[in-house]
Chain A
Amino acid sequence: MISDFTYLKPGSAKEALKMLAEHQDDGKIICGGQSLLIIMRQGLVTPEYVIDIKKLKDLNYMTFDPKDGLKMGATTTHRTIEKSAMVKEKYPVLVEMEEKLASIQVRNWGTIGGNLAHADAAGDPAPVLMSMGGSVKVASASGERVISLDDFYTDLFETAMNHDEMIVEVIVPPRPAKSATKYQKFNLLDSDQGIVAVAATITLNGGGVCKDARIVLGNAASTTIRAKEAEKVLIGAKLDDAVFQKAGEAAAAECQPVADIHASEEYRRHLISILTKRMAKAAWEQAKISG
């Protein structure tokens, strides 16, 4: 049973931040509520004030320019991203990821800001965005700062945000030339949360050598993590199956998955190795043909 709370409905982001400043210890932001209401029902969080930012127009936007890349207001829904022709053209992997994120109902109401803030290590957007070098702009009543997703996740369901801060924008840098990102989660049902997931971005130089690689693992530790050892295997290498295999093994070795009823720790490592190999290769193949 959800415990009682006072419902606050700010009219602007600024007002929301003021309320948040006031209730930073006993308040909670609700956006789509897709995750929050479940944990509230389980009694895991019991805020006294709930600040509803779902309908804030000033946080609901999507823009792209070749220099700054993609900017999405925090309340942009999953479905908006999925259906955006612009996103499909510039960042097709985001659309592919969104199409497999939960069901249409959840994507219709759930938001990108809420998803990233919820900090579930099994979330889909974080690995993909992190792999593309994404960041979030967080704001409080006293100012704004941009945090790279690399530094955003600190522990299980914990982020680098202070209690008076909220995500206002998600930023994805423009895609470099000869670069591609691929993402896959392993799950039992088509759009389930991943048992593990891997996002891989491969950037090639003119000679077809791997100039940069960012491998990000979902649900392979208490937070979304970079697989830096795997990246080392890839960067500077002339890519082939043997290298992908080695990268997979490196990722499997460096992750810290936790066993549960769906998969043992060993099996999770095995899956990480397979998916890393596959995604790195898929990204490479895509990067070769991309401008």
Chain B
Amino acid sequence: MEKQLLRLNVNDQNYEIYINPKTLLVEAIRDHIELTGTKRGCDTVSCGACTVVVDDMAVKACSVLAVQAEGTKILTSEGLEVNGKLAPIQKAFLDEGAFQCGFCTSGMLMSSVAFLNETKKPTEKEIRDGIEGNICRCTGYNSIVRAIDSVAKGKYTEDKV
């Protein structure tokens, strides 16, 4: 199959890659652009490890063709930190120990970021529903819920750039 040119904007950087049109967005990000923070944990769009933010929406990058993301702005876990300065949600994950093995963490962070942008004063139930699409086998989720909650409550506001 002939490869075609695809322009993607990931973490505010433009990339030109040549791909087979069947390439999934997660494959473009991991295998072509070589940002491996985004993970894959299933073949059925079930686990959320591949979650990235596309035009401010959390999306599972294994459920989208890379070509469908042309013209969008994509944010991955690597794009959260700016010049060594961690984003509030990253700090909160550290403070709450909201990760263990870390394999779900990138996806979890991206779901959290999109959720926090959308929902200003979330209830605990809303936070839980907000990360429902992400499986974490290690933490039991409560530390992640606490981390999201503490960002929502403004614990890290002074950090916002």
Direct A–B touching, Cβ under 8 Å: yes
Residues of A within 8 A of B (CB): 2-7, 9, 30, 32-34, 37-38, 40-41, 50, 52, 54-55, 79, 99, 102-106, 108-109, 190-191
B65 near A109 with CB under 8 A, answer: no
B64 near A104 with CB under 8 A, answer: no
Compute how far the CA of A68 lies from the CA of B33 in the bound complex, rounded to whole angstroms.
Answer: 48
A106 near B68 with CB under 8 A, answer: no
Q: Across the two chains, which residue of chain A brings its CB closest to B55?
A: A108
- Note all chain A residues with C-beta closer than 8 A to B54: 109
Tell whether B63 is near chain A: CB-to-CB under 8 Å: yes
- Note all chain B residues with C-beta closer than 8 A to A3: 22
Which of A7, A41, A109 interacts with B64 by CB under 8 Å? A109
Complex interface: stretch among B82-90, B127-135, B137-145, B147-155: B127-135
- Note all chain A residues with C-beta closer than 8 A to B114: 104
Complex interface: stretch among B10-18, B43-51, B93-101: B43-51
Further 20 A-B residue pairs, CB within 8 A, beyond A7-B4, A103-B48: A33-B63, A34-B45, A37-B24, A37-B64, A38-B43, A38-B44, A38-B45, A41-B43, A52-B65, A52-B67, A103-B133, A104-B115, A104-B129, A104-B133, A105-B111, A106-B63, A106-B133, A108-B57, A109-B57, A109-B60
Among A4, A30, A54, A108, chain B packs the most CB atoms within 10 A around the CB of: A108
B63 near A104 with CB under 8 A, answer: no
Compute how far the CA of A191 lies from the CA of B58 in the bound complex, rounded to whole angstroms.
Answer: 17
- Note all chain B residues with C-beta closer than 8 A to A34: 45, 63
A6 near B44 with CB under 8 A, answer: no
- Note all chain A residues with C-beta closer than 8 A to B43: 38, 41
Which of A6, A54, A103, A105 interacts with B68 by CB under 8 Å? A54
B60 near A105 with CB under 8 A, answer: yes
Q: What distance in Å separates the Cβ of A281 from its nearest Cβ neighbour in chain B? A: 25
Q: A79-B57, A105-B111 are in contact. Are A37 and B129 (CB under 8 A)?
A: no
- Note all chain B residues with C-beta closer than 8 A to A54: 68
- Note all chain B residues with C-beta closer than 8 A to A106: 45, 60, 63, 133
Tell whether B161 is near chain A: CB-to-CB under 8 Å: no
A4 near B1 with CB under 8 A, answer: yes
Among B24, B63, B64, B133, chain A packs the most CB atoms within 10 A around the CB of: B63
Can you give 16 A-B contacts (C-beta < 8 A)? A4-B1, A5-B21, A6-B21, A33-B63, A37-B62, A38-B44, A41-B43, A52-B68, A79-B57, A99-B129, A105-B51, A105-B58, A108-B57, A109-B54, A191-B129, A191-B132
A104 near B132 with CB under 8 A, answer: yes
Number of interface residues of B (CB under 8 A): 30
Which of A4, A79, A99, A108 interacts with B22 by CB under 8 Å? A4
Which of A33, A38, A102, A191 interacts with B65 by CB under 8 Å? A33
Compute how far the CA of A105 lies from the CA of B38 in the bound complex, rounded to whole angstroms.
Answer: 15
- Note all chain B residues with C-beta closer than 8 A to A108: 57-59
Compute how far the CA of A279 lies from the CA of B90 in the bound complex, rounded to whole angstroms.
Answer: 43
B22 near A2 with CB under 8 A, answer: yes
Among A40, A105, A106, chain B packs the most CB atoms within 10 A around the CB of: A105
- Note all chain B residues with C-beta closer than 8 A to A7: 4, 21, 65, 67
Among A4, A37, A102, A191, chain B packs the most CB atoms within 10 A around the CB of: A37
B58 near A37 with CB under 8 A, answer: no
Tell whether B20 is near chain A: CB-to-CB under 8 Å: yes
- Note all chain B residues with C-beta closer than 8 A to A38: 43-45, 63
Among B22, B57, B67, chain A packs the most CB atoms within 10 A around the CB of: B22
- Note all chain A residues with C-beta closer than 8 A to B65: 7, 30, 33, 37, 50, 52
Compute how far the CA of A102 lies from the CA of B58 in the bound complex, rounded to whole angstroms.
Answer: 13
Q: A38-B44, A79-B57, A104-B58 are in contact. Are A33 and B64 (CB under 8 A)?
A: yes
- Note all chain B residues with C-beta closer than 8 A to A50: 21, 65
B129 near A190 with CB under 8 A, answer: yes
Compute how far the CA of A5 lies from the CA of B62 in the bound complex, rounded to whole angstroms.
Answer: 17
Q: What distance in Å separates the Cβ of A100 from its nearest Cβ neighbour in chain B? A: 9
Q: A50-B21, A79-B57, A108-B59 are in contact. Are A102 and B64 (CB under 8 A)?
A: no
